Amino acid sequence: MALGSRSLAALFVYIISFLIGLPANLLALRAFARRLRQPHPAPIHILLLNLTLADLLLLLLLPFKMVEAMYNFHWLLGDILCALTGYGFYSSIYCSTWLLAGISIERYRSVAFPVHYKLSRRPVYGVMAAVVSWVLSLGHCSIVIIVQYLPTSDLDLVVPVRLELCMVLFLIPVVVTIFCYWRFVRIMLSRSQVGAQKRWRAVGLAAVTLFNFLVCFGPYNVSHVVGFFKKQSVTWRAYAVLLSALNACIDPLIFYFSSSLVRRDFDKGLQRLQNWGTSLSGCWRRRTQERATTKADESLGTRQVYNSSQFLTQ
């Protein structure tokens, strides 16, 4: 069965996201879980942990999306699993937007109001923000299940709900995030006592987060607006949603810039990979040298026998 361009694009994006995102998010999950076991965890670590869980939910659903793409988007795994896969997939994406907004608020408050932030930094605030993010996304994305029972031509309900999804779960979070990171970076760069490394991390955190919003989430949500005014689903929606899946392998960069625990774990992981690669290359070189030495010895032995026999016959 020949695969269309959409199927090939989906398989490429899903496989890349899965191979990069799964190990990176599992590493981040380990770091955040270890931090939360310590006394007085910060709200931002609770938000980062929930962002990791949202990414892992999406990543664990990608194999089902891959099967769908392999059959040119003909779902063969049953209606219930179809609805639940779509529900979890889109809920994960939209939960991430509000969690990212919450992280940006925490970052802004930590530098703009440092004294008040330290006094009011309670874990319950992080839990409340995470619960609100999940409730908003799970509640709004229930349309994914409802639409399974609507006629395919009936867009009177679907198109307005998509617009509302864009406004509540994308536009508001992105405005909040842009404002908070703009202020955050501006404050960090204006303070002479802040080291160059911290400034670089602040700029990197803001850049990666905005890239995530504008490149991964932006096109798909713009399709909601265009579809609302055209009163139909735009054809490029199918490709725009693929970009949303990439956020699961970009979020680990946010974890890296946000948490020293994740940075240490990532650095340790990279060091282990480097050591493993060095050991592997060393073994390969030794085997190559041993083979070359063995061949040289065999060749030398052959030449010696040949010369001796030639001497005896002369």
pLDDT tens, 133-171? 999 999 988 877 776 566 554 667 778 888 888 999 999
Instruction: Note the pLDDT tens digit of each residue in 8-67.
Output: 999 999 999 999 999 989 988 988 888 888 877 889 999 999 999 999 999 999 999 999
Residue 266 or residue 303, greater confidence? 266
pLDDT band for position 261 (cuts 50, 70, 90)? confident
pLDDT band for position 314 (cuts 50, 70, 90)? very low
pTM above 0.85, yes or no: no
State the CATH class of domain 5-258. mainly alpha
Six-digit token pair at 220? 């798909």
Angle, to 10 degrees, between the axis of helix 123-140 and the axis of helix 158-166? 160
pLDDT value at position 130?
95
CA-to-CA distance for 260 and 265, rounded, in angstroms?
9
CA-to-CA distance for 17 and 251, rounded, in angstroms?
11
Per-domain residue ranges for the chain? 5-258, 263-314
Six-digit token pair at 309? 């026999």
CA-to-CA distance for 92 and 193, rounded, in angstroms?
39
> To 5 degrees, how large is the angle CA 270–CA 275–CA 277?
90
Percentage of the chain modeled with pLDDT above 90? 40
pLDDT over 70 (residue 313): no
Q: Which residues, in sequence order, are CB contacts of 15 under 8 Å at separation 6+?
A: 66
pLDDT over 50 (residue 308): no
CA-to-CA distance for 158 and 90, rounded, in angstroms?
15
Radius of gyration of the CA atoms of the chain, in A: 27
Angle, to 10 degrees, between the axis of helix 43-70 and the axis of helix 247-258? 160
pLDDT over 50 (residue 306): no
CA-to-CA distance for 18 and 196, rounded, in angstroms?
34
pLDDT over 60 (residue 7): yes
- For the beta carbon of residue 89, count every other beta carbon within 10 angstroms: 20
pLDDT over 70 (residue 246): yes
pLDDT value at position 12?
93
pLDDT band for position 310 (cuts 50, 70, 90)? very low
pLDDT band for position 258 (cuts 50, 70, 90)? confident
Contact (Cβ atoms closer than 8 angstroms) between residue 259 and residue 31: yes
Give the distance between the most distant pair of CA atoms in the chain.
Answer: 103
In 3D, which of 91, 167, 166 has the Cα closest to residue 133? 91
The chain-wide mean pLDDT, for the chain, equals 83
pLDDT over 50 (residue 194): yes
